[in-house]
A and B are shown apart, each in its own frame.
Chain A
Amino acid sequence: MPEIVMSEQEITAILKDLADCLMEGIKTWNDVVFIGIRSGGVLVARSIVKILEQKTDMQIPLGTLDIALYRDDVSKRLFSPEVRSTDIPFSVDNKRVILVDDVINTGRSVRAAIDHILDFGRPKRIYFMVLFDRGGRELPIQPDFVGKEMSIPEEKIIKIEVAPDGIGIKDVIISGVKK
């Protein structure tokens, strides 16, 4: 049975903390763009950008990234990645990119996402922000901004649930056994 590990209220609080951290770490916002990794990262990126736009009173560009074609496990059929489109409606050249995902585990998705972004241009810097760090890294990759660290058994799946409005995040559940 899926188990709710975090409620909407808790998530809102974490996002707020993350926004504060970002405000402190980034300082100037005119060259900052956000890119969310499909599909969980897009939700998180959207929520955080909304908060930051209020705080900075600026329009912050937001793109989405589909990493299916950049995975290193395509031929192993470990995952069954659906290929959806990548949509980055701005140039990343000389920008500071904040790459967003919902969960970091092995680090392989982030590696793929970085490769993908580099195919679009040459950013000045890429930061990585994640809502949850569940550990279990297989690559030397660490996030710059972490919402919460949680130790979750390897066989469990962690997933963020979309709010009924289709935009926000409802809650976070862990469930089942990994394929």
Chain B
Amino acid sequence: MNWPHKDIIAVQDLTSAEIGLILDMASSFKEISRRDIKKVPTLRGKTVVLLFYEASTRTRLSFEIAAKRLSADTTALSASGSSFSKGETIMDAAYNVMAMSPDCIIIRYPYAGVPKKMAELLPCSVINAGDGYHEHPTQALLDMYSMKERFGRLEGLKVAIVGDIMHSRVARSNVYGLIKMGAQVVLVAPKTLLPPGVETWGADVMTEFDPVIPEVDAIMMLRVQKERLHERFYPDSREYSIFYGLNKRRVDMMKEGAVIMHPGPMNRGVEITYDAADSARSIILDQVENGVAIRMTLLYLSMGGSANVD
């Protein structure tokens, strides 16, 4: 197949065949990261600009490493050091960056829709590194890759996503992707953290965590945004962690071979305890490693590489 996308904006925009291809190709890129010389010349001479208008260390680092392993030149611009705070609109910033002819812009932005708009208006590739509550496609793809790596398949898997579904772009992208790939998804959250219309997503929705645990192959815990949620969507961390936190007792209820995932950064002691995060079931660090491979794949595909299978 020929890769038809200039940009990677949303898992909603990808077909199951395209997702499958990304996951297949990622293994080849993962191998590069395990070499002594962790670099291939593929994107030599390409310029990748990272525009991060929201705090993020690991996603930015992951993209930067991915781009560098493909020999692209990277420049990162984060909100604090940029003119963002000086009243410049994001599209002004985008046109200014564009005037310097980058080949790819990776953008993280606190509001939904901006990467999509940028992709429509700019000639270069745009990769969404998370926009508001909309989507975080690279995270979902690396999550799916990690599950596929562990189970050999996605079809028929049962995955629980637990926590603040309402404000989670990671949950949304994962739901769209996993369901396209034939997995079954159960969303677990108090009703205050379930978004309107969640019943149309094709996932099961549960408000009780325990009954779900023995049923699923993977449990993905979402980060609770303490600062945003406290006192508004649930009473406090203590009650939240008792009803929706992953702890030793719940880990012991998981079925054999089932794994624990977390997109990070974790709030240890709130949505996940130490013994859960560090248990043998945890593939949280695999997720991080695979993130680089997935992002290399996407950089390669969106900047000229293709995947013509003869």
A–B interface present (Cβ within 8 A): yes
Give the residues in chain B near A82, CB-CB below 8 Å: 25, 306-310
Stretch of A16-24, A63-71, A129-137, A165-173 lying at the B interface: A63-71
* A interface, size bucket: 20 to 34
Other-chain residue from B36, B37, B103, B307 in contact with A83 (beta carbon distance below 8 A)? B307
CA gap between A70 and B41 in the complex, in Å: 6
Which B182-196 residues sit within 8 Å CB-CB of chain A? none
A86 at the interface (CB under 8 A from B): yes
Q: Is the CB of A81 within 8 A of B40?
A: no
Show 15 A/B contacts (Cβ-Cβ < 8 Å), sorted by A: A66-B28, A70-B41, A71-B42, A74-B304, A75-B43, A75-B46, A75-B103, A75-B304, A77-B306, A82-B25, A83-B305, A83-B307, A85-B27, A119-B40, A120-B36
List the count of A-B residue pairs having beta carbons below 8 Å apart: 66
Given contacts A83-B300, A119-B37, contact A74 B43 (CB under 8 A): yes
CA gap between A81 and B46 in the complex, in Å: 18
CA gap between A74 and B310 in the complex, in Å: 17
A84 at the interface (CB under 8 A from B): yes
Q: Is the CB of A74 within 8 A of B42?
A: yes
Which B23-65 residues sit within 8 Å CB-CB of chain A? 25, 27-29, 31-32, 35-37, 39-43, 46
Q: Is the CB of B305 within 8 A of A81?
A: yes
Other than A82-B307, A83-B28, A116-B40, give 19 A-B pairs with Cβ distance below 8 A. A68-B305, A69-B300, A70-B40, A74-B43, A74-B304, A75-B304, A77-B304, A77-B306, A80-B308, A81-B305, A81-B306, A82-B306, A82-B309, A83-B25, A83-B297, A83-B305, A85-B27, A86-B28, A86-B31
CB-CB nearest 9 A-B residue pairs: A80-B308, A75-B304, A80-B306, A69-B40, A69-B42, A119-B37, A85-B28, A83-B28, A74-B304
A10 at the interface (CB under 8 A from B): no
Which A2-41 residues sit within 8 Å CB-CB of chain B? none
CA gap between A121 and B25 in the complex, in Å: 24
Other-chain residue from A74, A83, A115 in contact with B29 (beta carbon distance below 8 A)? A83
B70 at the interface (CB under 8 A from A): yes
Give the residues in chain B near A115, CB-CB below 8 Å: 41
CA gap between A14 and B285 in the complex, in Å: 51
A178 at the interface (CB under 8 A from B): no
Q: How far is the CB of B272 from the nearest CB of chain A, in Å?
A: 34
For residue B29, which residue of chain A has the nearest CB?
Answer: A83
Q: How far is the CB of A67 from the nearest CB of chain B, in Å?
A: 10
B200 at the interface (CB under 8 A from A): no
The interface centre, meaning the residue of B37, B41, B303, B309 with most chain A CB atoms within 10 A of its CB, is: B41
CA gap between A158 and B39 in the complex, in Å: 32
Which A68-107 residues sit within 8 Å CB-CB of chain B? 68-71, 74-77, 79-86
CA gap between A104 and B261 in the complex, in Å: 48
CA gap between A81 and B42 in the complex, in Å: 11
Given contacts A66-B28, A70-B40, contact A120 B35 (CB under 8 A): yes
The interface centre, meaning the residue of B40, B297, B308, B310 with most chain A CB atoms within 10 A of its CB, is: B40
Which B291-308 residues sit within 8 Å CB-CB of chain A? 297, 300, 303-308
Q: How far is the CB of B184 from the nearest CB of chain A, in Å?
A: 30
Give the residues in chain B near A121, CB-CB below 8 Å: 36
Q: How far is the CB of A72 from the nearest CB of chain B, in Å?
A: 8
Given contacts A70-B40, A83-B28, A85-B27, contact A76 B35 (CB under 8 A): no
Given contacts A80-B306, A81-B306, contact A70 B28 (CB under 8 A): no
Give the residues in chain B near A70, CB-CB below 8 Å: 40-42
Give the residues in chain B near A76, CB-CB below 8 Å: 304
Which A108-122 residues sit within 8 Å CB-CB of chain B? 115-116, 119-121
CA gap between A76 and B44 in the complex, in Å: 13
CA gap between A71 and B300 in the complex, in Å: 12
